[in-house]
């Protein structure tokens, strides 16, 4: 993978993650992340819309007048969201009913418009699509981790009802980790989403912190500077 693509991937998945760093699209992130299947369903839908919208916006970037670019982008995003909605209605009807209003609300997800205006409108189609894919994947991953954590704490099981999304293949995927679990309702209720998201952000910052520490430790010590030389800066 060449450097710009690697940077894009790193940005989307970690450094500039929409869920953990930009804190965009919090409404679906907190609203539907109460189980893995909901989270994965909405995450994949968002990822698909984001990739396609970035590609489409990048393709029309020379044609659309700057003054009306935002309405135009929103129209593109809304059209794509409608496509996804119809697809979900056709293939995963039960999940479509569970996710409800959150599927049409993908249109208003700030991550998508943010990437469209901030990146896709200024870059080539392939780069823009790849950026959309990586940002969408980053968002989807956070959503799934959040959903799985909340499902685990809330019900003591994982991957319940995955057949709603993946068909009969996934019918017996449910892993019950704790039998006779009382159910920790708070994790499934909205406060649980805020608490777990806060803990995830803290974990990410902690990892970044220790990575930076390690990088600093790995660097060779700065060469000795003659302390008697008058300098105005800081002597490292």
Q: Judged by CB under 8 A, which stretch of 4-12, 18-26, 176-184, 228-236 contacts another protein? A: 176-184
Residues 6 or more apart whose CB falls under 8 angstroms from that of 214 comprise none
Q: Does 185 interact with another protein (rule: CB under 8 A)? A: yes
Identify the bridge partners of residue 73 per DSSP, sorted by sequence position: none
Closest approach, Cβ 3 to another protein, in A, equals 38
Contact 236, 222 (CB under 8 A): yes
Q: Judged by CB under 8 A, which stretch of 32-40, 100-108, 141-149, 185-193 contacts another protein? A: 185-193
Size of the site for another protein (CB under 8 A): 8
Is 9 or 196 the residue whose CB approaches another protein more closely? 196
Q: Does 189 interact with another protein (rule: CB under 8 A)? A: yes
The H-assigned helical ranges of the chain are 3-10, 26-31, 36-59, 69-91, 93-99, 110-118, 125-155, 163-166, 185-188, 190-218
**Interface map 126-165 toward another protein (x if CB under 8 A):** ----------------------------------------
Is 79 or 195 the residue whose CB approaches another protein more closely? 195
175 φ, ψ (degrees, to nearest 5): -110, 115
Distance between CA 138 and CA 22 in Å, rounded? 11
Which residue of 179, 182, 216, 230 would you call a contact of another protein, by CB under 8 A?
A: 182
Is 170 or 195 the residue whose CB approaches another protein more closely? 195
Residue with tokens 């293939």: 91
Distances (CA, A) of 143 to 36, 65, 208, 223: 8, 35, 20, 46
Q: Does 195 interact with another protein (rule: CB under 8 A)? A: yes
Is 4 or 183 the residue whose CB approaches another protein more closely? 183
Closest approach, Cβ 33 to another protein, in A, equals 17
> How large is the C-alpha radius of gyration of the chain?
22
Tell me, rounded to whole angstroms, the distance of Cα 148 from its chain centroid: 15
Distance between CA 95 and CA 195 in Å, rounded? 25
Which residue of 68, 83, 186, 211 would you call a contact of another protein, by CB under 8 A?
A: 186
Identify the bridge partners of residue 175 per DSSP, sorted by sequence position: 158
Q: Does 184 interact with another protein (rule: CB under 8 A)? A: yes
Task: Give the residues lining the site for another protein (CB under 8 A).
Answer: 182-187, 189, 195
């Amino acid at each position: 993978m060449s450097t710009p693509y690697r940077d894009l991937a790193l940005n989307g998945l970690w450094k500039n993650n929409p869920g953990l760093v930009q804190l965009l699209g919090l409404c679906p992130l907190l609203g539907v992340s109460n189980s893995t299947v909901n989270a994965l369903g909405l995450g994949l839908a968002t990822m698909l819309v984001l990739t396609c919208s970035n590609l489409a916006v990048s393709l029309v970037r020379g044609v659309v007048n700057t003054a009306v670019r935002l309405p135009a982008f929103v129209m593109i995003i809304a059209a794509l969201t409608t496509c996804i909605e119809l697809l979900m209605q056709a293939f995963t009807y039960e999940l479509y009913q569970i996710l409800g209003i959150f599927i049409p609300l993908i249109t208003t997800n700030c991550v998508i418009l943010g990437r469209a205006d901030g990146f896709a409108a200024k870059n080539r189609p392939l780069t823009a699509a790849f950026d959309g894919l990586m940002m969408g994947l980053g968002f989807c991953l956070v959503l799934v981790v959040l959903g799985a954590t909340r499902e685990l704490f809330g019900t003591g099981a994982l991957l319940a009802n995955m057949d709603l999304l993946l068909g009969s293949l996934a019918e017996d995927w449910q892993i019950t980790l704790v039998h006779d679990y009382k159910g920790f309702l708070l994790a499934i209720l909205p406060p649980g989403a805020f608490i777990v998201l806060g803990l995830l952000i803290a974990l990410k910052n902690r990892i970044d912190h220790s990575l930076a520490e390690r990088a600093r430790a790995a660097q060779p010590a700065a060469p000795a500077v003659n302390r008697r030389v008058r300098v105005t800066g800081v002597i490292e």
